[in-house]
Structure 1
Amino acid sequence: MSILDHSKWIQYKPEHIHLVHAAIPIQSLPAHLDGFTIGVISDLHLGTWGSFERVKKAAMMLADLSSDLVIVAGDLTSKPEAEPLIDEVLSPIGEAYGVLGNWDYRYPPTSRLQSKIKLL
């Protein structure tokens, strides 16, 4: 049995930013993926929750982890007016993959969003 080690989540809520490290055992994991790291960030809700600086701090914490793969797991914005903030928030992370959340579906993804996240 191999372990996909140090998978990471940053959970953001208005009152806190929380980083969780978790080792996930995966049977029959190919040897070249042993120790592969995944960083996940979600529910930033740009435009409604907390300060922009706190949201940016969460993204910078994730960037500092230097994960092998970064996933943005939905609800990036809560208002279309917040979309210009995406560039500044996600720029420290670099390449990321993601899915849209229920809030994101209220506003069709634009080229700005799709230039920062490869939607799955």
Structure 2
Amino acid sequence: MLLRLSILGALALAARKGFLNSRNLQLREVEIGLRHLPSSFDGLRIGQITDIHAGPLVPREFIREGVDLIMDENPDLIVLTGDFMNGNRGILRPNNGSFKQHHYDYCIDELARLSAPLGVFGVLGNHDFWSGKKLACAIVEDLNSVGIRILRNQSIPLEDHGQQLYLVGVDDYWEDSYDLSLATRGIPKDTCRILLSHNPDVNEDISTLKERIDLVISGHTHGGQVVLPVVGFPYLLSPFGQKYRSGIVRDGQRVSYISCGLGAYLAPIRLNCPPDVSILTLYRQREDS
């Protein structure tokens, strides 16, 4: 009996700690060197918000805090890498009540406050598609209406002092509509390319297709969301294990950055893996470094 009570007490303390951690939003700042970065973009600062999962687990105030953290940094460019909504699939049917209209409305309203000199861009995540096709299309339309362009297998040039880099965005890697080749079509061969992909596993496809991408910006993993002592990260939805869990991952000259994200899934709990929004500062890397 005493052992059972001790176990229950430990679980209760862990759950409480996990809930408190899920509200301990961090600003993560990283520097990334890219060899093909044009000189006029040296020092480019990119703000990233990902995996909001708007719904009953993520209150409006928490989304507002993430937006405020990014806007206080005055980035040159802002990117949103999917899972705006908390839609479900499989044993949980789409539109099963995991979020309501007011969750959707306040998410759009808070994101509408984002602005940056080079613009605000985004891509959809798996939970956005799992919300149902109608709602996924509404997300695109409503974000576009407040100045946030969602890239669906598309690219757009960003210009500064006569130099260009291309921002590329793809539909979620798990969706049939995902098409990296279409997204990169027509981009000049030697131009710097920054890819927005909700799922970092896209890196494996980049290698298979032999596409040249300089930087991949992703979310999806939540950094594991729950990190246990000794055990570590018990589960990631990736066939590549811990390879793309979080932070900076290098594959030859390609660099990936994976944010732990703002929200949570299934339960408002994070253990040893706090939520974050990110500021990426890019610099031009020398050929011999």
TM-score (norm 2): 0.35
Measure, in 1, the Cα distance between the counterparts of 2:113 and 2:31: 24
Q: Would you say 1:109 and 2:130 are equivalent positions?
A: no
List per-residue Cα deviations over 1:38-65 (Å, max 9, x = no partner): 1110111112323211111111111111
Measure, in 2, the Cα distance between the counterparts of 1:114 and 1:49: 25
Measure, in 1, the Cα distance between the counterparts of 2:128 and 2:100: 9
- Offset of residue 68 of structure 1: 0.8
Aligned match for 1:31, one of 29, 39, 59: 39
Q: 1:28 to 1:86 in 2, by over 3 A?
A: same
Q: Which runs of 5+ in 1 are unaligned?
A: 1-12
List per-residue Cα deviations over 1:56-104 (Å, max 9, x = no partner): 1111111111111100110112236222113421132124100001111
Structural RMSD (CA): 1.8
Q: Would you say 1:119 and 2:150 are equivalent positions?
A: yes
Measure, in 2, the Cα distance between the counterparts of 1:33 and 1:17: 29
Measure, in 1, the Cα distance between the counterparts of 2:60 and 2:31: 30
8 Å contact from structure 1 (residues 86, 113) kept in 2: no
Question: Could you say which structure has the larger radius of gyration?
Answer: 2
Query: Counterpart amino acid of 1:102?
Result: N
Q: How many residue pairs were aligned?
A: 108
Q: Would you say 1:88 and 2:109 are equivalent positions?
A: yes
Q: 1:80 to 1:113 in 2, by over 3 A?
A: farther
Measure, in 2, the Cα distance between the counterparts of 1:15 and 1:73: 20
Measure, in 1, the Cα distance between the counterparts of 2:84 and 2:47: 15
Task: Tell which has more relative contact order, 1 or 2 (C-alpha 8 A, sep 6+).
Answer: 2
TM-score (norm 1): 0.79
Query: Counterpart amino acid of 1:118?
Result: R
Measure, in 2, the Cα distance between the counterparts of 1:113 and 1:30: 29
* 2:85 aligned residue: 77
